[in-house]
Each structure stands twice: as structure tokens, then as C-alpha cells.
């Protein structure tokens, strides 16, 4: 995974179209999945290999150089990373580029989580990271995108794009009856409703993905100068 100049992260297996390169080792490209554009480190890019067959379904997993958990891992793979698997060796899936990944941490590309909120809840305690999309660090809109993608629901990257594209806006008559999976938007922030009383969101106040009382969070964010701009129902 690598960072697109402090805006988002591209995960292993994501396809990117490169439009330009500069002398400083950066490439200007666009992620094929969500259309995000930015500068990427040229050395982190590789020509597409075998078509992906599987994706990581655990929060993260390790890629080993051989079929043993006692070997030093060659890297960490986050939830949603795409891999081309060519076979099995015991309890490991073997990728086309020769890495061994615990089979129980992978699923077919079309596997879908039934509850995207449950995916987001698994990130509780993850450090907040502007532009992050993994269990090593994640931001508010990254949490929404990763969770929805795990449920095979397309989602833009940034919270303003999400507010425009996702669901329907709840009128005031419905906004007091929040349901699991509703999205609450502020300017530059988004949270996921867990139930009638709590939300889960990655936020800089806690510097983590946190579960907290909905109306206490709304009051705190309002006191900091931001009102709720909309509540969307998918």
C-alpha cells in the first residue's frame, strides 16, 4: 500500500492509470476503483500481473516467503487488498508472485459482508490517520469507504463526495429515528450510525476510530464549530 500525497492510500492490487511522471520520482495517476487522482511514488508501482482472484477479508494479514508462520513476513496486507492466487500449500494460499498468505484470511473477490457497520466496528481503536484506509491508520471517509466496499457497495473516497453520492437525505421528521447504517455528515466529517444511541467514526478528537454516544458527539462537534449538514440512509 502507498500514499497518494497525503490524500488517500492505494492498496495492493488496486489498478491505477498513470498520466504523467516527473523527475522527482512521482507519477500522476488515477485509481481505477474510485477515480481518485494524485501523485504516487513511482517506485511503488508495477505493471499489472495476473488478474486478481481473491481479496483480504481480515483486518490485516501477513505475506510470508514460504509456508510457515515462523518465517519473517515480507509485508502486511490490509482488508480489501486484491491478490492473484495460483494454488494452495497446506493452510496457505500461494500468490502468483510467490507469497504465502493464510488461507483463512482470504475470500473470493465477490464475497460480500452482510453488515458494513460490523466491518467498521472491527476498526475500533485503530489510530486516526489522515488519508488512511487500513488497520494501521484510517480516517473518517476511509472507514466508510472500506466498510462499504467490503459489502460490495461502491463508495467515493472523500466525505463531501460520499454525502453527494450515497443514499437519500432524511427529512427532519425522520432524522430523530436513526437506524443502523445511516450516515451522519458534517463539513469534512462523516460517522456511521450503529443504533439509536451510538455511532462509530474515525476522528481526530480521539485520534482513533471510536464508538461514542451520538448526541454527545453531535454536541461536541457543534461546540467546535460544525453543524450536521445531512443524515443519509442507504
Rounded to 5 degrees, what are φ and ψ at 134? Answer: -135, 175
Q: What's the rounded Cα separation, in Å, for the pair 35 and 20?
A: 16
Catalytic-residue membership of 206: no
- Largest distance between two CA atoms of the chain: 58
Closest to 201 measured CA to CA, from 193, 101, 1, 64? 193
DSSP 8-state symbol, 142: H
Q: How many helices (H) and strands (E) does the chain have?
A: 5, 21
Residues belonging to the chain: 234
Among the options 54, 105, 155, 189, which is catalytic?
189
Among the options 54, 105, 140, 155, which is catalytic?
140
Catalytic-residue membership of 4: no
The residues carrying an active-site annotation are: 140, 189, 201
Amino acid at each position: 500500500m502507498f500514499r497518494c500525497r497525503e490524500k488517500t492510500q492505494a492498496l495492493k492490487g488496486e489498478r491505477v492509470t498513470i498520466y504523467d511522471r516527473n523527475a522527482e520520482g512521482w507519477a500522476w495517476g488515477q485509481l481505477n476503483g474510485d477515480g481518485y487522482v494524485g501523485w504516487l511514488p513511482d517506485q511503488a508501482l508495477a505493471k499489472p500481473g495476473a488478474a486478481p482472484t481473491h481479496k483480504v477479508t481480515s483486518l490485516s494479514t501477513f505475506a510470508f516467503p514460504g509456508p510457515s508462520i515462523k518465517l519473517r513476513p515480507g509485508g502486511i496486507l490490509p482488508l480489501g487488498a486484491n491478490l492473484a492466487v495460483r494454488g494452495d500449500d497446506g493452510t496457505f494460499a500461494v500468490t502468483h508472485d510467490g507469497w504465502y498468505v493464510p488461507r483463512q484470511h482470504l475470500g473470493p473477490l465477490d464475497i460480500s459482508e452482510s453488515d458494513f457497520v460490523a466491518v467498521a466496528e472491527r476498526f475500533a481503536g485503530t489510530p486516526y490517520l489522515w488519508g488512511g484506509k487500513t488497520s494501521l491508520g484510517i480516517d473518517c471517509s476511509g472507514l466508510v469507504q472500506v466498510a462499504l466496499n467490503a459489502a460490495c457497495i461502491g463508495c467515493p473516497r472523500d466525505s463531501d463526495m460520499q454525502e453527494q453520492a450515497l443514499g437519500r437525505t432524511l427529512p427532519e421528521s425522520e432524522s430523530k429515528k436513526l437506524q443502523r447504517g445511516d450516515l451522519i455528515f458534517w463539513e469534512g466529517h462523516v460517522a456511521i450510525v450503529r443504533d439509536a444511541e451510538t455511532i462509530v467514526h474515525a476522528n481526530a478528537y480521539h485520534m482513533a476510530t471510536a464508538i461514542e454516544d451520538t448526541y454527545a458527539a453531535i454536541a461536541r462537534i457543534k461546540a467546535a464549530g460544525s453543524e450536521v449538514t445531512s443524515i443519509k440512509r442507504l
